[in-house]
Amino acid sequence: MAQSAIELKGIDKSFGAVRANRDINLEIAPGTIHGIIGENGAGKSTLMSILYGFYQADRGEIFVNGQKTDIDSPNDAIAAGIGMVHQHFMLVHNFTVLENIILGAEGSSLLNTGIARARSELHRLEEEYSLDVDPDAIVEQLPVGLQQRVEILKALYRGAEILILDEPTGVLTPAEADHLFRILRKLKDEGKTIVLITHKLREIMAVTDNVSVMRQGTMVATRKTAATTVEELAELMVGRRVLLRVEKGEASPSGVKLSVKNLSVRDSRGVTMVDNVSFDVRAGEIVGIAGVAGNGQSELIEAIAGTRRAETGTVLLDGAPIDVAGSADPGELRARGLAHVPEDRHHVGLVLPFEENENSILGYHGMDFYLNGPFLNIEAIRSDARDKIEKYDIRPADCRLKTANFSGGNQQKIVLAREMEKDPGVLVVGQPTRGVDVGAIEFIHKQLIAMRDQGKAVLLISVELDEIRSLSDRILVMFDGRVVGERGPDATEGELGLLMAGVEAQEAAE
Amino acid sequence: MDFLNLILQLLDATIRVSVPLLLACLAGLYSERSGVFDIGLEGKMLAGAFAGASTAAVTGSAWLGMLAAITISVFFALVHGFASITHRGNQIVSGVAINFIAAGSTVILGQAWFSQGGRTPSLVADARFNAITLPFADTLREVPLIGPIYSELVSGHSLIAYIAFLMVPFTWWVLFRTRFGLRLRAVGENPAAVDTAGISVAWLRYRAVICTGVLTGLAGTYLAVSQNAGFVKDMTAGKGFIALAALIFAKWRPVPAMFACLLFGFLDAFAIRFQGIALPLIGKVPVQLMQALPYILTVILLAGFIGKAIPPKAGGVAYVKER
Amino acid sequence: MSAPYAKLPAWADYGLIPLINLFVAFLVAGLVVLLVGESPIEAAGLLLKGAFGSGSGIGYTLFYATSFIFTGLAVAVAFHCGLFNIGGEGQAYVGGLGVALVCLTFDGILPWWLNFLLAIVGCAAIGGIWAMIPGWLQAKRGSHIVITTIMFNFIAASLMVYLLVGPLKPLGSMAPQTRTFMPDAHLPKLNWLIELFGFSVRSTPLNLSFILALVMAVVVWALIWRTKLGYEIRTMGFSPKAARYAGIKEARIIVITMAISGALAGMMALNPVMGDQHRLQLDFVTGAGFVGIAVALMGRSHPAGIVPAAILFGMLYQGGAEISFVMPHISRDMIVIIQGLVILFAGALEHMFRPAVQAAFASLSPRSVGIDVEAKGEGA
C-alpha cells in the first residue's frame, strides 16, 4: 500500500482529569474516505482538533504523507494540506461567501487582487467538483447545506489535500446529505483524502472505504468497510459492557400520566430537533429514550418541562394540557406535579456558587413551607436540606457548603433529592448519572426504581445505553428527531444500536 | 444674504464641534468592530488632550504635542487591551477605570507641573494647529453662493479637522478593502472563525485598540492644541460618550458615523446659537433639551423603536477557545 | 468551563486576593504621588491624620462615606442580578428632585421626621423609576443596560439643569438652585455621635442619613440573602438558565432589581441635600454615583464589605482635602485616580494575580488546590 496520508502514533490528550484520547494509533490511506465512528464523548472530535492544530496533544506524533509534522496551530495544519469542516460552522455570518473563503488566505494586504483571484479560483472549484454557490451571497441567508459547502470550499481554496468533516450531516436534510456524499466521492476521485467523523452507521456504510471505531477515548478497531457489517460496528461502538443489573420487580403500570402528541421543537438555529413525536408514559413505569446525543432527546424533555418552547404539539399532564408552544412555565408545572432533573446540572439544575441548602429549594423556593411572608425561612430550609442529605447520603453532610465543592455524584443527588422529595406524579430525568461515580450510580438507579414502584411516571433520557436498558420498562429510540422504534427491556444492544444509528427497523430485522 | 450667513455660521460651528466627536467615534469603531467594547473613549481623549497641550506648551511644537497625545492615548488603549484581551476582564469595568484614571491624573499632573489650577499654559499660535486657508479661498469669496460656502465652510479649519473628515473614507477603505479590515470585522463577529483560519485573535484585537488609541489621541489634540489654546480640566465634557452614542446610531459604519457626528454636532451648535430664542412654530426650546437630544435619540434607537442597532456579535466577550 | 479558576481557600478568595489588588492600586497611586514630587509615605500619614485625627475629620469622613454606602449598595444590588448599573450618578441626581419636592412642599408644615420619611419615599421613587426604565428597555427591548444607563446620566444632568435654572429657581435669584429649606426640613446632625467617643467637634455635616445608610446596608443584606426576591435575584445573576429552570420570570426580576438599585442611588441625595446644603443645587452628586462602582467592586458586593470600602473612600475624600493644604500639588482629584485604579485592579484585572497566588498555594500545600480540580474534572 502507498504511504499513509496521515499517521497518528500514540496520541494522548487530557482535559484536567478527563482523558479524552488514550494512546491513539491511526493510519489513513491517501485517496480514500476514512470513517471514524463512535458515540458522543468517545473522543473523535478531540482527536481531529489535535490533527487540525486547535489543541496540542500531550504525547504522540503526527505524520503527514510520511513526514513527521508538528501541528501547533491551524496554520501548520493548513500548510500541511489539512482542511477541516467543523460541526459548528466557522463562518462569519454577515460576510459574503467570497469574504468567508478568503479570510486568512487573502494573498496580499489589499483585498481586490485576492478577491479577484478567489472569484476565478472559486469558479474553477465549482466546475471541478460541482460545488456551485453564489460567491456574493451573504452567508447567513444561505440554507445550512450551502453554508457547509462554503466550509468545504474554504478548505479547498487553501489547497487542502486532506479534508476532515466533523459530523457533517447533523444539520442536513437527507437530500442534502446525499448531495454531500456525492461531493465527497467526487473529491475522492480527484485524489483527495477524506476523514469523515460521524455516529451514523448508514453514512459509514454508504461512503467510506475504511472505518475506525472509537470508544471512551480509545481506538478499538479499524476495518475495511466492505469487509464489515453494521452489526459488528454497532457492537464495537457500544462495546460489551458489563450491564449494571438493577434489581427490580415487574412494573405494574396503570393510567396514563403524561401524554405527548405530535410534538415538534426547533432549536435556536431554527433546525427541527424534535419532529412530530408522540408517546405516553403511564403511572408506575419507566419509559427510557435511547439515542445518540443530538438526536432531539434534550429538546424533547426541555419542551415537556417548560424550559424550551415547542413549535407545535400537545402535552397532557394528568389529562390536562400543558401550553408547550406558549406560556408553559416550569414553576407552574412543578406545582402540577411534574418534576424535572435536567441534563446539565452545572448550569441549569444547580447554581454552583450557592450553598447546598439554597440549591435544595431551587424551583420550590416559592412554597409556603420555605417562606415567612416575603422572607426565606432559613430554619425550615436548612433542616429540610439536612433531612435530604441524610436520606440521600449526600457527602460531605454540610448544608452550608458551596455546591461547587461537592463531587459530581453528590451534586446529582442534591438535584434528585430536591425533585423526588416533593412527591411529583411525573418525573422527567435527563442523564441522571453523567459524570457520576459508580457508587452513586447504583444509588441513583435504586431511587428511580423506587419512584416507579411508588406509582410515579418516569421519563428517562440517557446516552448510556446500559442505563436505559437496565432501568426502562419500555424503550423508545430517537434518531434525527423522530421516534424510530419501541422495544421492550429485553432488546439486545445490537438491535438498539442499529436503531440509534439510523438503520431502519426493517433493515435491522433482516 | 443674512440668512445665508446665519446658515453658514451655523454649519461652520457644526463642523468645528463635530471634529472631536468624529475622531472619537471612528476610534470606537475600530475597537468595537473587533469585539472590544470601549466606554473609555472619553478618558483616552482627555489624556490625549492633556499630553498634547503640555508637550506643545513645553516644546512649542504642535507636532510634538500631537505625538505625545497619541502616545499616551495608545498607552491607555493598551491598558484596556491588557485587561480585556489578555486577562479577559470585564470590558465595561476596564473602560470605566480608564475614564477615572485619566480624569484624575490630568488634573493632578497639570497642577503639579504648571500650577495653574489644572490648566496648561496658554499656547502661542505657533504651538497650535491653526486654521488653514485653502487655495483660492479669498479669490472665490465674491462668487455668489459657492464662494462663501467654499471660503467660509470648507476653508479655514485646522489640519486635524481635514484629517478627521479624510479618516471617514480612509476607515471605510481599511474596513472593506484591506486584509486587516476583513479580519477586523471577522474577529468582532466570530473570533472562532478567525482562530481556525490560523489568525491570532489577540494580536488582531490589540492592533484594533491601538488604532483606537491613535484616533482618540488625535481627538484630544484637536481639543487642546487646535480648537482651544491649551488644556482645561474635564474639557472633553462627555464628548466621548456622545461619540459612543453616534457610533451606535451609525450602526458601527464609517460613513453613517460621520453623519451621526454631524447631526449631534449640529444639535450642539444650534443649541448654542439659538439659546433662549423663540423659534417659529415650536416656540422656545430649552437648550438642555437640545443637549440631551443625542442621548435621547440613542436610547430610542437602542430600544429598537426606530430601526435596530445590532452590535458586533462577539462584542464585549473575551475569546476563550471552546472545548 | 463553569469555573475557569481552580479553588482557593475562602480566606484567600475573599481576603487575600482583594487585598493584593487593593495594594497594587495604592502602589500605583503612590507612584503618581512620587511623580508630582511628593512623598507617598508622608501623604499617607497626612491622609490618615486628616481623616481620623480630629472629631471634625471623622465627621467629614463619615459624611462622605454615607453617600458612598448608598451608591455602593445600589451598584451591588444590580451586580447580584448580573446587571451593571453605571447610572447611579444620574439616579442620585434625580433622586435629589424627590427630596427637594418634598421639602419645598412640606417645610414649615410637617415636623422634620415626617418630612424625612416623605423625602425617603420621594427620592427612592424618582431614583427607582429613573433606573427602572433602562431595566425595562433591557428586559423587553434588549437594549444594553450599560449604554442606556450612561445615556440616562446625561439626560438626568440636562433635566436637572433645566429645572434648576428654570422652574425650581426662586424668582429674582441668579444662582441655579432652589430656595433654602426651612429648619423643619433639615436632618439632625450627628455630632453627638462622635462626641460620644471623646472627640470634640466644631461642626460637621454628618447627619441622620448616615444611620439610614447603615440601616439600608442591613436591609440590602436581608433582601439579597434572606428573601425570596433576593434568592431569585441571585439565581438570575449566577445563571439565567437556572433561573428559567426554576420558573423565575427574567424580565420581572431585571426591572425590579433595577428599581431597587435606582432607589438606593436616589436615597444618596438625602445626605447632601437634606442633611447638609438644605437646598437643591447643581451637580450636588459630584461623582458619588461613580464612586459607588469602586466601592461595590472593592466590597465584593456584600454590605459588610461595602460599608468599610465606603468609609475608606470617605477617608480619601476628607484626608485628600487635608493633604492639599500641605501639598498643594495633590488635590482631591487624587481620589479620582485612586478610584480608577481600584476599579481597574479590583475589577477588570481581578484575576491577574490569581495564577501566582494559586501557584504559591500549590507549592505550599498541593492538596488545598488539587481536590477541587478533580471534583470538577470528573463532572465535565
Q: What does the mean pLDDT of chain A come to?
A: 88
Q: How confident is the model at residue C1 (pLDDT cuts 50, 70, 90)?
A: very low
Contact A366 C228 (CB under 8 A): yes
Distance separating alpha carbons of residues A256 and B67, to the nearest angstrom = 79
The answer, yes or no, to whether residue C378 has pLDDT greater than 50, is: no
The whole-number pLDDT of residue B73 equals 97
Contact B97 C154 (CB under 8 A): no
Encode pLDDT of C171-225 as tens digits: 888 888 898 888 888 999 888 888 887 777 778 899 999 999 999 999 999 999 9
Which residues fall within 8 angstroms of residue A316, CB to CB, at 6 or more apart? Answer: A256, A258, A259, A261, A322
The answer, yes or no, to whether residue A242 has pLDDT greater than 70, is: no
Taking residues C249-271, report their average pLDDT.
96
Does the beta carbon of B132 lie under 8 angstroms from any beta carbon of chain C?
Answer: no
Distance separating alpha carbons of residues A478 and A496, to the nearest angstrom = 10
Distance separating alpha carbons of residues A477 and A470, to the nearest angstrom = 15
Please give, rounded to a whole number of angstroms, the shortest distance from the CA of B97 to a CA of chain C: 4
For residue B144, whether the previous peptide bond is cis, meaning omega lies within 30 degrees of 0, is: no
Cα angle A384, A387, A391; round to 5:
140
Which residues fall within 8 angstroms of residue C277, CB to CB, at 6 or more apart? Answer: C284
Query: Are both A149 and A36 inside the same structural domain?
Result: yes
B contacts of C158 (beta carbons < 8 Å): 288-289, 291-292, 295
What residue has cell string 459607588? C292
CA separation (Å) from B228 to A76, B112, B231?
53, 21, 8
The whole-number pLDDT of residue A240 equals 59
Does the beta carbon of A407 lie under 8 angstroms from any beta carbon of chain C?
Answer: yes
The whole-number pLDDT of residue A241 equals 54
A contacts of C379 (beta carbons < 8 Å): 345-346, 407-408, 411, 435
Mapping DSSP to helix (H, G, I), strand (E, B) and coil, where does residue C180 land?
A: coil
Cell of B247: 457610533
Query: Are both A201 and A281 inside the same structural domain?
Result: no
The whole-number pLDDT of residue A292 equals 79
Distance separating alpha carbons of residues A53 and A61, to the nearest angstrom = 12
C-beta separation of A331 from A363 below 8 A: yes
Distance separating alpha carbons of residues C67 and C292, to the nearest angstrom = 9
Q: Between residues 336 and 365 of chain C, which touch chain B (CB distance below 8 Å)?
A: 336-341, 343-344, 347-352
CA separation (Å) from B289 to A374, B265, C124, C133, C166?
42, 14, 25, 19, 13
Distance separating alpha carbons of residues A205 and A210, to the nearest angstrom = 9
Encode pLDDT of A402-449 as tens digits: 998 888 889 999 999 999 998 899 999 999 988 777 678 888 999 999
Q: Is B179 left (phi over 0), alpha (psi -120 to 50) or beta?
A: alpha
Does the beta carbon of A374 lie under 8 angstroms from any beta carbon of chain C?
Answer: yes
Contact C336 B89 (CB under 8 A): no
The whole-number pLDDT of residue C379 equals 32
Encode pLDDT of B169-191 as tens digits: 999 999 999 999 999 999 999 99
Q: How confident is the model at residue A509 (pLDDT cuts 50, 70, 90)?
A: very low
The answer, yes or no, to whether residue A262 has pLDDT greater than 90, is: yes
Distance separating alpha carbons of residues C177 and B27, to the nearest angstrom = 38
Among the residue ranges A56-70, C31-45, C346-360, C362-376, the one predicted with the least confidence is C362-376
Q: How confident is the model at residue C83 (pLDDT cuts 50, 70, 90)?
A: very high
Residue with the bigger pLDDT between B274 and A351: it is A351
The whole-number pLDDT of residue C7 equals 62
Distance separating alpha carbons of residues B199 and B192, to the nearest angstrom = 10
Work out the burial of residue B31: count CB atoms within 10 Å of its CB; fewer than 13 is exposed, 13-18 middle, 19 or more buried: buried
Q: Between residues 258 and 287 of chain B, which touch chain C (CB distance below 8 Å)?
A: 286
Does the beta carbon of A159 lie under 8 angstroms from any beta carbon of chain B?
Answer: no
Element (H, E) at B256: helix B254-273
A contacts of B194 (beta carbons < 8 Å): 103-104
Among the residue ranges A17-31, A320-334, B131-145, C266-280, the one predicted with the least confidence is B131-145
Write the single-letter amino acid at A145: G
Q: Is B41 left (phi over 0), alpha (psi -120 to 50) or beta?
A: alpha
Residue from the list C32, C159, C331 with its beta carbon closest to the beta carbon of B288: C159
Contact A111 B186 (CB under 8 A): no
Contact C231 A405 (CB under 8 A): no
Q: What does the mean pLDDT of chain B come to?
A: 89
Does residue A243 lie within any of the structural domains?
A: no
Residue A326 is part of a domain; what is its CATH number?
Answer: 3.40.50.300
Taking residues A166-184, report their average pLDDT.
82
Contact A94 B177 (CB under 8 A): no
Distance separating alpha carbons of residues A156 and A128, to the nearest angstrom = 11
Contact B198 A74 (CB under 8 A): yes
Q: Residue C270, Cβ neighbours under 10 Å: how many?
A: 30
Contact B87 C351 (CB under 8 A): yes
Q: How confident is the model at residue A62 (pLDDT cuts 50, 70, 90)?
A: very high
Element (H, E) at C157: helix C145-165
Please give, rounded to a whole number of angstroms, the shortest distance from the CA of C223 to a CA of chain A: 8
The whole-number pLDDT of residue C37 equals 84
Q: Between residues 282 and 321 of chain A, which touch chain C (CB distance below 8 Å)?
A: 306-307
Residue in chain A lying closest to C7 (CA): A405
Q: How many helices (H) and strands (E) are present in chain A, helices listed first?
A: 17, 22
Query: Are both A13 and A63 inside the same structural domain?
Result: yes
Q: What are the sequence ranges of the domains in chain B?
A: 2-302
**Domain-ending residue, one of A181, A203, A238:** A238
Element (H, E) at A218: strand A218-224
Encode pLDDT of B200-239 as tens digits: 999 999 999 999 999 999 999 999 999 999 999 989 988 9
Greatest alpha-carbon span in chain B: 70
Cα angle A425, A427, A429; round to 5:
180
The answer, yes or no, to whether residue C374 has pLDDT greater than 60, is: no
Please give, rounded to a whole number of angstroms, the shortest distance from the CA of A92 to a CA of chain B: 6
Taking residues C5-32, report their average pLDDT.
81
Element (H, E) at C46: helix C40-52
Q: How confident is the model at residue A458 (pLDDT cuts 50, 70, 90)?
A: very high
Taking residues C362-370, report their average pLDDT.
58
Contact A371 C378 (CB under 8 A): no
Q: How confident is the model at residue C131 (pLDDT cuts 50, 70, 90)?
A: very high
CA quadruple C246, C247, C250, C254: dihedral, nearest 10: -70
The whole-number pLDDT of residue A167 equals 85
Write the single-letter amino acid at A285: E
Does the beta carbon of A93 lie under 8 angstroms from any beta carbon of chain B?
Answer: yes
Residue from the list A15, A78, A109 with its beta carbon closest to the beta carbon of B198: A78
Encode pLDDT of A266-325 as tens digits: 987 778 899 999 999 999 999 999 987 778 999 999 999 999 999 999 999 999 999 988
- Residue % of chain B over a pLDDT of 70: 96
Contact B197 A104 (CB under 8 A): yes
Please give, rounded to a whole number of angstroms, the shortest distance from the CA of C21 to a CA of chain B: 13
Its ipTM equals 0.90
Does the beta carbon of A116 lie under 8 angstroms from any beta carbon of chain B?
Answer: no
The answer, yes or no, to whether residue C370 has pLDDT greater than 50, is: no
* E strands, A370-433, in order: 371-372, 375-376, 426-430
- Residue % of chain C over a pLDDT of 90: 54
Q: Is C265 left (phi over 0), alpha (psi -120 to 50) or beta?
A: alpha
Q: How confident is the model at residue C371 (pLDDT cuts 50, 70, 90)?
A: very low
What residue has cell string 438491535? A495
Query: Are both A196 and A294 inside the same structural domain?
Result: no
Does residue A299 lie within any of the structural domains?
A: yes
Mutate to test the interface with C, among A362, A411, A433, A441 (most CBs of C within 10 A): A362
Residue with the bigger pLDDT between C329 and A504: it is C329
Q: What are the sequence ranges of the domains in chain C?
A: 63-190+203-326
The answer, yes or no, to whether residue C263 has pLDDT greater than 90, is: yes
First to last CA, chain C: 8
Mutate to test the interface with B, among A18, A103, A138 (most CBs of B within 10 A): A103
Encode pLDDT of B99-130 as tens digits: 999 999 999 999 888 888 888 998 888 888 98
The whole-number pLDDT of residue A244 equals 56
Encode pLDDT of B77-106 as tens digits: 999 999 999 999 889 889 999 999 999 999
How many structural domains comprise chain A? 2
Distance separating alpha carbons of residues A105 and A87, to the nearest angstrom = 21
B contacts of A164 (beta carbons < 8 Å): none
The whole-number pLDDT of residue B305 equals 73
Distance separating alpha carbons of residues C279 and C273, to the nearest angstrom = 6
The whole-number pLDDT of residue C365 equals 63
The whole-number pLDDT of residue A510 equals 45
Q: What are the backbone dihedrals phi and psi of residue B159, each rounded to the nearest 5 degrees, phi first?
A: -50, -40
Among the residue ranges B239-248, C179-188, C353-362, the one predicted with the least confidence is C353-362
What's the order of all strands across the beta sheet hosting A482-487?
A338-341, A426-430, A457-461, A285-290, A474-479, A482-487
Contact A110 B323 (CB under 8 A): no
Does the beta carbon of B145 lie under 8 angstroms from any beta carbon of chain A?
Answer: no
The whole-number pLDDT of residue C298 equals 87
Alpha helices in A41-160 (DSSP H): 44-51, 74-79, 97-102, 111-129, 144-157
A contacts of B199 (beta carbons < 8 Å): 103-104
Distance separating alpha carbons of residues A28 and C239, to the nearest angstrom = 44
The answer as to CATH 1.10.3470 being correct for domain B2-302 is: yes
Please give, rounded to a whole number of angstroms, the shortest distance from the CA of A74 to a CA of chain B: 5
B contacts of A77 (beta carbons < 8 Å): 198
- Residue % of chain C over a pLDDT of 70: 94
C contacts of B101 (beta carbons < 8 Å): 336-337, 340-341, 344
Mutate to test the interface with B, among C85, C154, C301, C316 (most CBs of B within 10 A): C154
Distance separating alpha carbons of residues A38 and A51, to the nearest angstrom = 17
Contact B104 C339 (CB under 8 A): yes
Distance separating alpha carbons of residues B235 and B105, to the nearest angstrom = 14
Residue in chain B lying closest to A85 (CA): B196
The answer, yes or no, to whether residue C238 has pLDDT greater than 80, is: yes
Does residue A286 lie within any of the structural domains?
A: yes
Provide the CB-side half-sphere exposure for B172 (13 A, CA): 12
The answer, yes or no, to whether residue B277 has pLDDT greater than 50, is: yes
The whole-number pLDDT of residue A84 equals 93
Q: Which chains touch C (3 or more CB pairs under 8 A)?
A: A, B
- CATH number of the domain at C63-190+203-326, out of 1.25.40, 2.10.25, 1.10.3470, 1.10.238? 1.10.3470
Does the beta carbon of B169 lie under 8 angstroms from any beta carbon of chain C?
Answer: no
Q: How confident is the model at residue B75 (pLDDT cuts 50, 70, 90)?
A: very high
Contact A75 B183 (CB under 8 A): no
Q: How confident is the model at residue C329 (pLDDT cuts 50, 70, 90)?
A: confident
Distance separating alpha carbons of residues B100 and B108, to the nearest angstrom = 12
- How far from the centroid of its chain's Cα atoms is residue A422's Cα? 30
CA quadruple B292, B298, B299, B303: dihedral, nearest 10: 160
The whole-number pLDDT of residue B306 equals 66
pTM, 2 dp: 0.86
Contact A342 C7 (CB under 8 A): no
Distance separating alpha carbons of residues B121 and B123, to the nearest angstrom = 6
Does the beta carbon of B178 lie under 8 angstroms from any beta carbon of chain A?
Answer: yes
Taking residues C286-311, report their average pLDDT.
92
C-beta separation of C320 from C335 below 8 A: yes
Contact A92 B189 (CB under 8 A): yes
Domain coverage including residue A152: 6-238
Please give, rounded to a whole number of angstroms, the shortest distance from the CA of B181 to a CA of chain A: 9
C-beta separation of C240 from C250 below 8 A: yes
Cβ-based contacts under 8 A for chains A and B: 67
The whole-number pLDDT of residue B313 equals 86
Please give, rounded to a whole number of angstroms, the shortest distance from the CA of B249 to a CA of chain A: 19
Query: Are both A44 and A152 inside the same structural domain?
Result: yes
